[in-house]
């Protein structure tokens, strides 16, 4: 069962699924993020522009009955991080580049879910042109380049960091890696 965004109608993101249509109302937060991210012209443009795709995907996943409650909790934490005031890189200060830490949190959550149940459910919810797995893993692989020490901080602030990834403040950064 594949979900694809077909745009917003009257402030709602329309998701088409075979046999039914789901509408998510939110003055389409995805559209707000898309407009903000679209203003960015820096060297990490590709990564910033993934923000609305991550948001839309998380919104779909938050309603997906195939996710376990613990996965849905992580999805909701990632969504909350986009709008929360406790960002490691606040958009108010960094402009659209402030979405880099939000995207890292989203990529991390998607990968954690995929490690448990595989990429199928996530790919079904993904609204981007590239594969969700490729985008998430590239974001994770380039974490230090994109965020420096703030990646770890973003994951901690979002409350999604697993015990195996935590480090003390004196440790060298641990790249995410795929192992």
Name the nearest CA neighbour of 22 among 2, 40, 51. 2
For residue range 93-102, what is the model confidence (pLDDT) as tens digits? 999 999 999 9
85 versus 89: which is more confidently predicted?
A: 89
Strand, helix or coil for residue 67: coil
Strand, helix or coil for residue 11: coil
Statement: residue 127 has pLDDT above 70? yes
pLDDT band at 13 (very low <50, low <70, confident <90, very high): very low
- For residues 154 and 89, the answer to whether their CB atoms sit within 8 Å is yes
The span from the CA of 57 to the CA of 170, in Å, is 35
**pLDDT for the residue numbered 162:** 79
The span from the CA of 103 to the CA of 113, in Å, is 15
Q: Please give the model's pTM, rounded to 2 decimal places.
A: 0.77
17 versus 156: which is more confidently predicted?
A: 156
């Amino acid at each position: 069962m594949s979900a694809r965004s077909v745009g917003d109608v009257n402030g709602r993101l329309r998701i088409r699924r075979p046999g039914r249509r789901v509408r998510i109302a939110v003055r389409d937060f995805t559209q707000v993020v898309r407009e903000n991210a679209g203003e960015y012209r820096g060297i990490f443009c590709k990564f910033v522009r993934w923000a609305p795709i991550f948001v839309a995907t998380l919104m779909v996943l938050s309603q997906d009955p195939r996710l376990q409650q613990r996965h849905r909790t992580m999805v909701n934490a990632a969504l909350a991080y986009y709008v929360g005031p406790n960002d490691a890189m606040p958009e108010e200060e960094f402009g659209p580049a402030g979405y880099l830490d939000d995207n890292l949190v989203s990529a991390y959550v998607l990968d954690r879910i995929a490690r448990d149940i595989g990429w199928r459910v996530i790919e079904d919810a993904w609204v981007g042109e590239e594969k969700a797995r490729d985008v998430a893993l590239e974001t994770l692989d380039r974490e230090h380049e994109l965020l420096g020490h703030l990646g770890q901080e973003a994951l901690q602030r979002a409350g999604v960091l697993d015990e195996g990834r935590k480090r003390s403040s004196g440790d060298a950064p641990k790249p995410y890696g795929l192992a």
